[in-house]
């Protein structure tokens, strides 16, 4: 019998995980069984992806930068990459503000429900507020200071320091460009080979993807809050999902008009990475698969993808910034606040900058949301209103983050003449042998 393609295997694992959890929660002992005996396999799967994230960025970025052979090419590609990321982020925040002002989901939350949500999630909200306070106390150039690591081994030991790893990799690659070719060649060959090993490890890890997402979805459903709270926040969740869907439409249009590639081409090539992003809620954990799909199935040259995608996974959080705009206005509506046009313009600027500072890990957007709320003068305690549905929405916005990274890599690839027709066989063929 013909083996299912990888993305269908992942979808099947997700569906079976949800059904299994729904069955288990019918029994008093069911959630504990899921938590103790199923969830750990999902954690192992995510950890295995995170395990190779730093080595992948080091190997691919050093290889990509050194292959440019000319610093002017790096400057050209870097400028276009950052420009596109900023443009799509501003579009995402604007879409979020437009949708939330039209639907006004905060008006549907009554005072009793508001008080219940704040009481139930006060502890979670307080921890995020404290984390945001530390960021606000930092100086204006703290982000620039944090960019340069004092010790690359310390930086590489924490996935939250991804920007520091990227800085070192680009710096190292520039050093290789400036060396005579004879002296740089041994180091370049080492990183070429190292990169191939990492890609092979990705193949091996993805063999367990269907089982990993089964465990992740089962744990999510089994640990969800009460259904009544979800119903109370249904309009808010629908508003976020609608905004994210419109952002996906924007990517389709950008890719179609700039590269000539159809939406079907984009989503068919990227599907496994999108499904993994949905399951893990982490752009960083999904990065290895995103790079594989973009290079082998969307036709982006490795020279471009190895530079654009690691940076995108760290600073390009379109889904997160859109969600922050919707959440901020939703909380304001719930408290009966009427935000001025100027205040909402401030939300666009703050959410754009905050999305750049968000770590590519689950839940990091909530910390940055506190900064957005403070800028707009919205009560930070309102953060507790949205915790009940944050996890499933985090899954959705991570899909948008990953799709945005891939779309920008195609646009940059086209602009520098590094976008080709995919030449590799279907990646899923590896699993049919």
Distances (CA, A) of 375 to 42, 204, 341, 370: 37, 45, 14, 9
Contacts of 231-237 with C-beta under 8 Å, sequence gap 24+, read 232/109, 232/113, 232/117, 232/388, 233/109, 233/117, 233/385, 233/386, 233/388, 233/389, 235/103, 235/105, 235/108, 236/105, 236/106, 236/109, 236/326, 236/327, 236/330, 236/386, 236/389, 237/389, 237/392, 237/393
Q: Is residue 256 over pLDDT 90?
A: yes
Q: Which of 351, 295, 293 is nearest to 325 (CA)?
A: 351
Report the range of poorest mean pLDDT among 14-28, 58-72, 240-254, 259-273. 58-72
Question: What CA–CA distance (Å, rounded) separates 63 from 8?
Answer: 33
Q: What is residue 408's predicted lDDT score, i.e. its pLDDT? A: 93
Mean pLDDT score, 363-380:
66
Give the rounded percent of residues in the chain with a pLDDT score beyond 70: 76
Q: Which of 344, 389, 320, 338 is nearest to 113 (CA)?
A: 389
Higher pLDDT, 271 or 124: 271
Q: Model-level pTM greater than 0.85?
A: no
Q: Is residue 224 over pLDDT 70?
A: no
Biggest distance spanned by C-alpha atoms of the chain: 72
Higher pLDDT, 78 or 163: 78
The confidence band for 411, taking pLDDT boundaries of 50, 70 and 90, is very high
Q: What is residue 242's predicted lDDT score, i.e. its pLDDT? A: 95
Helix (H, G, I), strand (E, B) or coil at 165: helix
Q: Is residue 429 over pLDDT 50?
A: no
Q: Is residue 384 over pLDDT 70?
A: no
Q: What is residue 245's predicted lDDT score, i.e. its pLDDT? A: 95
Q: What is residue 405's predicted lDDT score, i.e. its pLDDT? A: 92
Q: Is the dihedral of CA 95, 415, 283, 280 positive or negative?
A: positive
For 314-326, give the DSSP string: HH--HHHHHHHHH
Q: Which of 193, 221, 272 is nearest to 4 (CA)?
A: 272
Q: What is residue 281's predicted lDDT score, i.e. its pLDDT? A: 78
Q: Is residue 262 over pLDDT 50?
A: yes
Give the rounded percent of residues in the chain with a pLDDT score beyond 90: 12
> How many CB atoms are located within 10 Å of the residue 141 CB?
9
Q: What is residue 244's predicted lDDT score, i.e. its pLDDT? A: 94
Mean pLDDT score, 392-409:
90
Token readout for 423 is 């030449």
Token readout for 227 is 């259904």
Question: What CA–CA distance (Å, rounded) separates 238 from 261?
Answer: 29
Is the CB of residue 361 less than 8 Å from the CB of residue 313? no
Token readout for 142 is 């703290």
Mean confidence (pLDDT) of the chain? 78
Q: Is residue 121 over pLDDT 90?
A: no
Question: What CA–CA distance (Å, rounded) separates 308 from 423?
Answer: 20
Q: Which of 240, 297, 296 is nearest to 265 (CA)?
A: 297
pLDDT in tens, 229-245: 555 567 888 999 999 99
The confidence band for 376, taking pLDDT boundaries of 50, 70 and 90, is confident
Question: What CA–CA distance (Å, rounded) separates 60 from 307?
Answer: 8
> How many CB atoms are located within 10 Å of the residue 127 CB?
13
Helix (H, G, I), strand (E, B) or coil at 301: coil
Question: Which residues is 300 bridged to in the sheet?
Answer: 419
pLDDT in tens, 309-365: 888 877 778 888 898 888 888 888 877 777 777 778 877 777 776 665 444 444 455
Report the range of poorest mean pLDDT among 38-47, 280-289, 378-387, 400-409. 378-387
Q: Which of 327, 324, 315 is nearest to 401 (CA)?
A: 315
Q: What is residue 250's predicted lDDT score, i.e. its pLDDT? A: 95
Question: Which residues is 419 bridged to in the sheet?
Answer: 300
Q: What is residue 361's predicted lDDT score, i.e. its pLDDT? A: 44
Q: Is residue 398 over pLDDT 70?
A: yes
Q: Which domains does the chain have, with CATH numbers?
A: 6-431 (1.10.3860.10)
Q: What is residue 114's predicted lDDT score, i.e. its pLDDT? A: 62
């Amino acid at each position: 019998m013909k083996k299912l393609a990888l993305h269908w295997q992942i979808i099947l694992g997700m569906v079976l995980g949800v059904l299994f959890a729904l069955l288990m929660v019918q029994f008093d002992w069911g959630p504990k069984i899921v938590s103790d005996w199923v969830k750990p396999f999902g954690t192992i799967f995510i950890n295995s992806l995170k395990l190779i994230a730093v080595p992948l960025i080091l190997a691919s970025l050093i290889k990509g930068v050194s292959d440019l052979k000319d610093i002017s090419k790096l400057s050209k590609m870097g400028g276009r990459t950052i420009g596109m990321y900023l443009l799509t982020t501003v579009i995402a925040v604007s879409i979020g503000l437009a949708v939330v002002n039209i639907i006004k989901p905060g008006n549907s939350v009554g005072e009793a429900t508001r008080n219940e949500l704040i009481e139930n999630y006060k502890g979670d909200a307080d921890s995020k507020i404290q984390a945001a306070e530390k960021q606000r106390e930092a100086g204006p150039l703290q982000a620039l200071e944090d960019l340069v690591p004092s010790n690359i081994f310390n930086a590489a030991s924490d996935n939250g320091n991804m920007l520091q790893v990227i800085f070192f990799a680009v710096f190292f690659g520039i050093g290789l460009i400036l060396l005579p070719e004879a002296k740089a060649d041994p180091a370049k060959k080492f990183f070429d080979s190292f990169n191939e090993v990492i890609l092979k490890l990705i193949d091996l890890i993805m063999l367990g993807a269907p089982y990993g997402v089964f465990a992740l979805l089962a744990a999510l459903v089994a640990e969800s809050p009460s259904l009544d709270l979800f119903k109370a926040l249904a309009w808010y969740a629908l508003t976020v999902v609608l905004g994210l869907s419109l952002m996906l439409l924007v990517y389709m249009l950008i890719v179609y008009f700039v590269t000539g590639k159809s939406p079907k081409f984009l989503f068919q090539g990227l599907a496994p990475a999108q499904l993994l992003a949905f399951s893990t809620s982490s752009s960083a954990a999904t990065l290895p698969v995103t790079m594989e799909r973009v290079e082998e199935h969307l036709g982006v040259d490795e020279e471009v993808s190895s530079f654009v995608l690691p940076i995108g996974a760290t600073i390009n959080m379109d889904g997160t910034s859109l969600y922050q705009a919707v959440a901020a206005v939703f909380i304001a509506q719930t408290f009966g606040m009427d935000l001025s046009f100027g205040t909402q313009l401030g939300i666009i600027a703050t959410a754009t900058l905050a999305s750049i500072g968000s770590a590519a890990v689950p839940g990091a957007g909530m910390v940055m949301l506190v900064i957005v709320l403070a800028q707009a003068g919205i009560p930070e305690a309102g953060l507790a209103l949205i915790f009940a549905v944050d996890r499933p929405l985090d899954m959705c916005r991570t899909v948008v983050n990953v799709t945005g990274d891939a779309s920008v890599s195609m646009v940059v690839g086209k602009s520098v003449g590094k976008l080709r027709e995919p030449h590799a066989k279907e990646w899923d063929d590896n699993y049919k042998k």
